[in-house]
Structure 1
Amino acid sequence: MHQYTRLAWAGLLTLTASLAQAGVGLKEITGLQGDGPVTVYYPSSAADQPLQRGPFHLQLAWQGAPVAGNGRLVVVSHGSGGNPWVYSDLARSLVAAGFVVAMPEHAGDNAKDPSKPGPDSWKKRPAEVSRAIDAIAKDAALAPLLSLDRVGMYGMSAGGHTALSLAGGRWSPALFKQHCETNIADDFATCVGLFTELKGNFLDGVKKTVALGVIRQRYDDTTWYTHDEPRIAAVVSGVPAAADFDMASLARPRVPLALITAGKDLWLVPRFHSDRVTEACAGHCTVLAALPDAGHGALLSPQPALAQMSDLAVRLLGDPPGFDRGQMHTVDTKIVRYFEQHLQVPAPLQAKAP
């Protein structure tokens, strides 16, 4: 083997080995234009240490020195009322393969401030993703280690809605209103969230009437909302909110699009959401994982502190009886491989996810 070829391969093998042994760095960078912080997971030379974030016991290298990975960024868009910690298992798998992972905090729809979920947040989220990429591009430590011409996008639930927008979909608040007018009883949690639920008693009629009155007042906007972000080159959308999309706009996604579905999702009933997307883009998108026994919260890992939640939240986010949460590591690995393939990660740098 030529001397220079041997040296190049030796360098690549050393880098791959360092990724396997390094810690998972964690830091927050300031968001742009008044956005909240962007939480960043990345390959680090520092060792993981116990780290407490709310009720979560994590092993991460807080503000550890970054090291070169595979040069690619994946942005993760959290669900309604979400935080960066319930996606840390996925982030760890991505970092083990060399990716940097950025999680913007979506205004008015996060764990610290859940005041404006639904269409009010959905209008803002895609631009918040773009600004998170811009914030990474300005970071003196991380930017030199990345090529931002091909960025991956993962989103779950409301974040899945954001992901569909960035895959080229268009949606309208008026379609959300129309969906709820037609399907309020069968998709009540989508239309109302955690505020209340139908219980099969005499109050259900009042609840539906009040909910529809609010929805009709707030969501009569017929504007088509879209967002163009040319740096995003591959999208994975998990259990997405999707009833308000023009399905024709998702028939041929702008970039490679993969879906993860949960057959027992009680929050975003599949036949109104993920099933409609997979039918619309059949032949032009990928069902990366179909989980027939999974509920809406299957993609949250580690799980949120269910004991601290309302009974309704536990029913919507908890695992259905018989669901095997152990399979979710395999789902994370599929996500990693999908991004490696479509973000054109150089083959010698594809360190295996743990």
Structure 2
Amino acid sequence: MPRRLYFIICLLALWSGWVHAATAAVTAMGLAEIPAAPGDGPVTVFYPSSDAARPTRRARFTLDVAVQGAPVRGNGRLVVVSHGSGGAPWVHADLARSLVDAGFTVAMPEHKADNYKDDGNPGPDSWAMRPAEVSRAIDAVARDARFAPLLQLDKVGMYGMSAGGHTALSLAGGRWSPAGFKQHCEANLVDDFQSCVGLITRLTGGPFDGLKKWAALFVIRHRFDDAAWRTHTDPRIAAIVAGVPSSADFDMASLAAPRVPLGLITAQQDRWLVPRFHSDRVLAACLPRCERVADMPAGGHGALLSPPPPGLTGLIGDMLNDPPGFDRAGVMPEVNRKTTAFFSTHLLPLSAEADAHP
């Protein structure tokens, strides 16, 4: 072999090794918590890290992450994730990993009185607070000395699931009212019972169903008669995905022309938020000015909890466990890939100024 060719091959081999080593050094997913505004819970951040990942226990989940790992620059963009009622950051770790692998930093606010530590006040009271909590989570990332220099926050992505999907629709320009929730439940209590009452009880066809319906409507009419529209706008948010969103209380005309690119993820076997009252109504209102990012014909409400909470039983298990025939291992990686691709399409590339100063 000629000496020059041998030398070039050696250089290429070395270069390949350097590239592999550099790539391996930044593929770990870091995990950190940062403070938000006074009175808010912490913001959980997943991000590209140069430190090694290790199995880490969080609640009932074991995650492969670099806790407090050194952050490195990815693609310069942030995606905020809004969890569902009683939710936690850990049930969106698979989506976070897909986003981090693509270079995104992911921030997850803890929604007040509607999270896994404190689920004392879900529903419309929480929905009214959540959009501002998302905005304050962006502010928290912007204040953090580790993450702010690595990000450009003029175009932020936002993803929400279930009650978090309600938050997403609000930030997309939708308007809703507590009275709208009341009117929906008055008209559709039996057919959308869990949407109206949550996991307090269910209809069984037994002798107490009449009392349950009376009690549900009594509480709903007493608490949710305010017809004032709720809206919230954050100009930094530039692309939104709503997964199996709670949406029956929205003025659908306000979603006919979303203010930013809006994607929907639907699950046809959803028994908590029945599609014809929620996600299907949104799609009917906004298509073709929005898009269906993914549909899961065999998926239930808990399909987007990935990884799913283990060992759920009773009513919560019936609402969140996968229906028979749902191929989670085959479906969910593709749903996460499509979600990541949606944000990549609408948030990248960075501005010319950011590209010039990596």
Asked whether the two chains share a fold, i.e. TM above 0.5, the reply is yes
Q: In the TM superposition, what whole-angstrom CA distance separates every residue of 1:281-318 from its partner, at most 9, and x where no partner exists?
A: 0110000101111000000011012x2x4410000001
Q: Indicate the structure whose relative CO is greater, using CA pairs within 8 Å and at least 6 residues apart.
A: 1
In the TM superposition, what whole-angstrom CA distance separates every residue of 1:74-108 from its partner, at most 9, and x where no partner exists?
00000000000000010011001100000000001
> Separation in 2 of the partners of 1:109 and 1:38?
14
SS in 2 for 1:39: strand
* Matched residue SS, 2:336: helix
- Cα distance in 2 for residues equivalent to 1:16 and 1:275: 46
Q: Counterparts of 1:104 and 1:333 in 2: how far apart (Å)?
A: 23
Structure 1 residues 20 and 237 mapped into 2: Cα distance closer, same or farther (>3 Å)? farther
Q: Does 1:329 align with 2:333?
A: yes
Alignment of 1:316 with 2:315, yes or no, is no
2:186 aligns with one of 170, 181, 184: 181
The aligned residue for residue 79 of structure 1 is: 84
How much does 1:16 deviate?
11
| Shift >4 Å, 4+ stretches | 13-17
- TM, length-normalised to structure 2: 0.91
Secondary structure of 2:338 counterpart: helix
Q: Is the partner of 1:345 in helix, strand or coil? A: coil
What does residue range 13-52 of structure 1 map to in structure 2 within 5 Å? Answer: 18=23, 21-52=26-57
- In the alignment, what sits opposite 1:6? none
Aligned to 2:356: none
SS of residue matched to 1:235:
strand
Amino acid at match of 2:335: V
Tell me the residue number matched to 1:3.
none
What secondary structure is seen at the aligned counterpart in 1 of 2:157? strand
Rg comparison, structure with higher value: 2
For 2:322, give the aligned amino acid: D
How many angstroms apart in 1 are the aligned matches of 2:264 and 2:235?
20
Match of 2:272 among 267, 273, 295: 267
Moved more, 164-173 or 337-346: 337-346
Q: Which residue of 2 aligns with 1:119?
A: 124
CA pair 15-32 structure 1, distance change in 2 beyond 3 A: farther
- In the alignment, the residues of structure 1 paired with residue 60 and residue 44 of structure 2 have an alpha-carbon distance, to the nearest angstrom, of 17
Shift of 1:194: 0.6
Q: Distance in 2 between matches of 1:226 and 1:20?
A: 43
Q: What SS class does the counterpart of residue 108 from structure 2 fall into?
A: strand
SS of residue in 2 equivalent to 1:242: coil
Q: CA deviation at 1:31?
A: 1.2
Residue 179 of structure 1 aligns to a residue whose secondary structure is helix
Q: Distance in 2 between matches of 1:20 and 1:121?
A: 40
SS at match of 1:323: coil
Instruction: State the distance in 1 between where 2:241 and 2:209 align.
Output: 36
RMSD: 1.8
Write the distance in 2 (CA, Å) between the matches of 1:70 and 1:107.
30
Residues 148-198 of structure 1: CA distance to partner in whole angstroms, max 9, x if unpaired? 000000000000000000000000000000000000000000000110000
Q: In percent, how many aligned pairs have the same letter?
A: 64
> Partners in 1 of 2:119 and 2:110 — Cα distance?
11
Whether the aligned pair in 2 keeps the contact of 1:173 and 1:219 (CA below 8 Å) is yes
1:94 corresponds to which letter in structure 2?
L
The alpha carbon displacement at 1:33 in A equals: 2.9
Which letter maps to 1:208?
Answer: K
**Unmatched 5+ stretches in structure 1:** 1-9, 348-354
How does 1:118-157 map onto structure 2 within 5 Å?
118-157=123-162
Distance 1:21 1:127 in 2: 32
**What residue in structure 2 maps to residue 5 of structure 1?**
none
Cα deviation 1:306-352 (Å, max 9, x = unaligned): x2x441000000111101102100100101111000002359xxxxx
Q: Which runs of 5+ in 2 are unaligned?
A: 1-14, 352-358
Q: Note if contact 1:48-1:60 (Cα within 8 Å) is conserved in structure 2.
A: yes
Distance in 2, Cα, partners of 1:65 & 1:287 = 36
- Contact kept, 8 Å, 1:150 with 1:343, in 2: the verdict is yes
The residue identity in structure 1 corresponding to 2:168 is A
Question: 1:295 is matched with which residue?
Answer: 300
Give the superposition deviation at 1:55.
1.1
* 1:207-286 correspondence runs (5 A): 207-286=212-291
- Matched position secondary structure for 1:123: helix
CA distance in 1, matches of 2:26, 2:257: 40
Confirm or deny: 8 A CA contact 1:72 1:345 kept in the other structure. no
Query: Shift in Å at residue 57 of structure 1?
Result: 1.1
Pairing partner for 1:341 from 333, 345, 356: 345
1-structure distance, mates of 2:209, 2:176? 29
Query: In the alignment, residue 165 of structure 1 is paired with which amino acid?
Result: S
Task: Give the counterpart letter for 2:344 in structure 1.
Answer: E
Query: Structure 1-normalised TM-score?
Result: 0.92
Q: In the aligned structure 2, how far is the partner of 1:260 from the partner of 1:23?
A: 27
SS of the aligned residue for 1:208 comes to: helix
